[in-house]
Chains A and B, each alone.
Chain A
Amino acid sequence: MNYNETQSSSATMDSQPLAEAEMISRIIAGERGLFYDLIKPCERAVFLTAYSVLKSEADAEEVVQEAALKAYKALGSFRGESKFSTWLVKITLNEARMRLRRSRSESEISLQEFMDDGDSDYTPAVLTDWREIPSEALDRKEVREILQKALAELPEKYREVLISRDVREMNIAETAQLLGISEGMVKTRLFRARLLMQKIVAPELRPQGRKETKG
């Protein structure tokens, strides 16, 4: 069937969205154009997952495209034991990690492992006062950039956990399952990631931008 004929057909005649399983069956039966409709609700999740590993928007976008194509080719093996989005995110995570391994030299890997497992400094930025930053501040590009830059500075293991848990708002168990680590490890990495974010971001976002040295 022609792609264009089906690209708007992800609804039944009474305009109800197709159930995921039915959509997958129809794609496998030949309605290829439905595949993008299947992917669309997961776009942000898969992009953030790839970005959490690669910290490059361009690389993350390429990986999402490759992962989506891989998922299409493997759709017949999808058994519906998890949600399609969970399966696609896992494929994306694996693709992103493979790309990172290919692009990173051995010395960089060693340094990264050392930094993650060593006695890094997880003390927060010590403040004596803090005024809450309202969510309206996110309308300012500068504030968004401070948060994005800080996230990119985190070691990969902490960035992955923080994006899963705090940006995608997955729970501890889901995060542990996706990343293949224990729930205890998720909590440990989350604690370190949040304190590192606080250490980087808090002095930048404080009123008047006044900074204090850590105690």
Chain B
Amino acid sequence: MVLDCEHVWREISNYIDGDLDPSVRASIEKHLAHCRHCAAILDSTHNIVYLIADERTFTLPIGFSERLRARLESEIEKSEPASR
């Protein structure tokens, strides 16, 4: 199977997730071997997915836990107990 660039772009996400039929995967890899644009698009997308998964990218706001705890203490103290 011969794939054009747009077809490769559409499969990049599934390629990163390893969610492709072996024949499609092989066709993509064949395309990537000679298309530096698609290879750079795959590498950059893969890298961005890796970076956004890092816990340092999205952290809780400073004081979040303390404010949540304080709010729960204040509201739960005056509320009726949870019941079955």
Chain A residues with a Cβ under 8 A of chain B: 3, 27-28, 30, 32, 35-36, 39-40, 43-44, 47-48, 51, 57, 61, 64-65, 68-69, 72-76, 122-130, 132-133, 135, 137-139, 143-144, 147-148, 151, 162, 166-167, 169, 172, 187, 190-191, 194-195, 197-198, 201-202, 205, 215
Known contacts A39-B68, A195-B9; decide if A127 and B37 are in contact (CB<8 Å). Answer: yes
Residues of A near B22 (CB, < 8 A) are none
- The complex places the Cα of A213 from the Cα of B82 at a distance, in Å, of 58
Known contacts A194-B48, A198-B44; decide if A28 and B82 are in contact (CB<8 Å). Answer: yes
Classify the secondary structure of B's interface with A. Answer: helix
B21-46 interface code vs A (CB 8 A; 1 in, 0 out): 00000000000000011001101110
Known contacts A43-B68, A69-B72, A130-B47; decide if A138 and B54 are in contact (CB<8 Å). Answer: yes
Residue tally, chain B, CB below 8 Å to A: 46
A23 smallest CB distance to B (angstroms): 12
